[in-house]
Chain A
């Protein structure tokens, strides 16, 4: 089954010098690393301070995505980041505090212990926004991994949070916090608007969409999480397919299918049946590059690829994993 090939017919070649920005859900973190390990130009625009160890770079969310946005699970969240960066009228000043430390509702885990002051948080947020914009404006390729249809937003400010308030940080406010399980049309419209926004400042930008193969940890949809997962992935997959079909500069890479197809018999999942193991990650990324090479020819050799490939799939930062802890408390 590992011999199955030609799973992807890439529309364009990524040159090793091309600047590739990566964002999205947890699984997107593997793409950046794999690009870097194979000698590609993973375009990281928000760099850590000098001296920060690799372990603490990860802890503080540096080098996880191209900028320190944290996970961008939904297409509406992507559009929100873009509007903050590209629309001078759009902004947010919302800050959460526990009385001593300050937390960014839109990046609740980038600072594990929160920020010291509100001003520090605001400066950090603006740094991330400007780094995000830089990555959008200067990238050759924008890789986005669609993760969720379920979203939480503030019905007063009409801003969307990556996590339900009260999970990673903040408190849940029933009068303000609103759950939405987005429809195909909502996901589609937000993604089209996002791509249009990006190409308005970077007309040559190419986009590669993937769908995270990681099932939902929890759902607010009142459906069983298994059913909710299938809805979410189906919508995301359909939207990605529609855009890939409709736009020559948008491609779809089938990481979801590679991990979840019955032919692979669940081989690529950890025993918890949710986390993708390192064999799966390696197989997905190997497929990505094999298909690229098969169509467009070989790249120069890259010595680090194998070293990076054997890294555990556990060491990615996934805010949604926090929900599993809530589940344990309930039991």
Chain B
């Protein structure tokens, strides 16, 4: 039995609920113990020191103590760390503006590519996981799974006309190239989530909350859960 540390934010809710929608064999084949650490901007509120993930503030400290009876997360207890969310791709302002910048024709491919890389490098989850990897204390696998991009019903997409069938390939290639030079394993968002426009989550996966264009419903969560299970199945 492998022990998996999952660092997440509110997006994990749909995933855990979605797990209940998966066929039995999807779960049964995963003979792992999963610890879900879920808190608002969790990755941005933790820092890494000597094999431990420690809270940056009292709120996260209280959360860890209240929900898990601990003051830090000892990564030595885990065979794998998975980060889900951490605003990687899910920042609505950033993602939507990236799409607009792409279609504007104002920027060179080199500038656009660099803007994505700078975005990745400034991401709190990436910084935290990089600290873990660079410490060479933790030897388990570190997987980064981005949270969903905004839903196609987001009002800000209304100014983006047409579809971009190549867009997710374009983005994934940038992310994969970047992470190929790190010790982190990047796993792309499941394509089943993406709308026909090529750059937003399909409206059928929108959570049933009027002004929430970011979170998935349980059916969308199940798609991510399936991806997560497949990833964890390969953990040796």
Using a CB–CB cutoff of 8 Å, the interface residues on chain A facing chain B are: 48-53, 56, 60, 111, 113, 115-116, 120-121, 123-124, 127
The residue of chain B having its C-beta at the shortest distance from the C-beta of A61 within the complex is B111
Query: Are B108 and A52 in contact, CB atoms less than 8 angstroms apart?
Result: no
Asked, given contacts A49-B115, A51-B118, A56-B118, whether A124 binds B108 with beta carbons under 8 Å apart, the answer is: yes
Chain B proximity of A103: nearest CB distance (Å): 12
Using a CB–CB cutoff of 8 Å, the interface residues on chain B facing chain A are: 93-94, 97-98, 101, 105-112, 114-116, 118-119, 121-122
Query: Are A50 and B111 in contact, CB atoms less than 8 angstroms apart?
Result: no
Query: Are B115 and A50 in contact, CB atoms less than 8 angstroms apart?
Result: yes
Please report the C-alpha to C-alpha distance between residue A73 and residue B121 in the assembled complex, in whole angstroms: 36
Query: Are A51 and B108 in contact, CB atoms less than 8 angstroms apart?
Result: no
Please report the C-alpha to C-alpha distance between residue A123 and residue B112 in the assembled complex, in whole angstroms: 14
The residue of chain B having its C-beta at the shortest distance from the C-beta of A59 within the complex is B114
Q: How many A-B residue pairs have CB under 8 A?
A: 58
Question: CB-CB < 8 A to A51: which residues of B?
Answer: 94, 97-98, 115-116, 118-119, 122
Question: CB-CB < 8 A to B93: which residues of A?
Answer: 50
Chain B proximity of A285: nearest CB distance (Å): 29
The residue of chain B having its C-beta at the shortest distance from the C-beta of A113 within the complex is B110
Question: CB-CB < 8 A to A60: which residues of B?
Answer: 110-111, 114
Query: Are B98 and A49 in contact, CB atoms less than 8 angstroms apart?
Result: yes
Q: A51-B122, A115-B109 are in contact. List 11 more A-B contacts (CB 8 A).
A: A49-B101, A50-B97, A50-B98, A51-B97, A51-B98, A51-B115, A53-B121, A56-B118, A111-B111, A116-B108, A127-B105
Query: Are B118 and A52 in contact, CB atoms less than 8 angstroms apart?
Result: yes
Please report the C-alpha to C-alpha distance between residue A53 and residue B114 in the assembled complex, in whole angstroms: 9
Please report the C-alpha to C-alpha distance between residue A115 and residue B105 in the assembled complex, in whole angstroms: 13
The residue of chain B having its C-beta at the shortest distance from the C-beta of A54 within the complex is B118
27 A-B interface contacts by CB (under 8 A): A48-B111, A49-B97, A49-B101, A49-B106, A49-B107, A49-B111, A50-B101, A51-B115, A51-B122, A52-B114, A52-B115, A53-B122, A56-B115, A56-B118, A60-B114, A111-B108, A115-B108, A115-B109, A115-B110, A116-B108, A116-B109, A120-B108, A121-B108, A123-B106, A124-B106, A124-B107, A124-B108
Please report the C-alpha to C-alpha distance between residue A53 and residue B120 in the assembled complex, in whole angstroms: 11
Chain B proximity of A60: nearest CB distance (Å): 5
Question: CB-CB < 8 A to B94: which residues of A?
Answer: 50-51
Please report the C-alpha to C-alpha distance between residue A195 and residue B138 in the assembled complex, in whole angstroms: 64
Question: CB-CB < 8 A to A113: which residues of B?
Answer: 110
Please report the C-alpha to C-alpha distance between residue A56 and residue B116 in the assembled complex, in whole angstroms: 12
Please report the C-alpha to C-alpha distance between residue A60 and residue B107 in the assembled complex, in whole angstroms: 10
Question: CB-CB < 8 A to B106: which residues of A?
Answer: 49, 123-124, 127
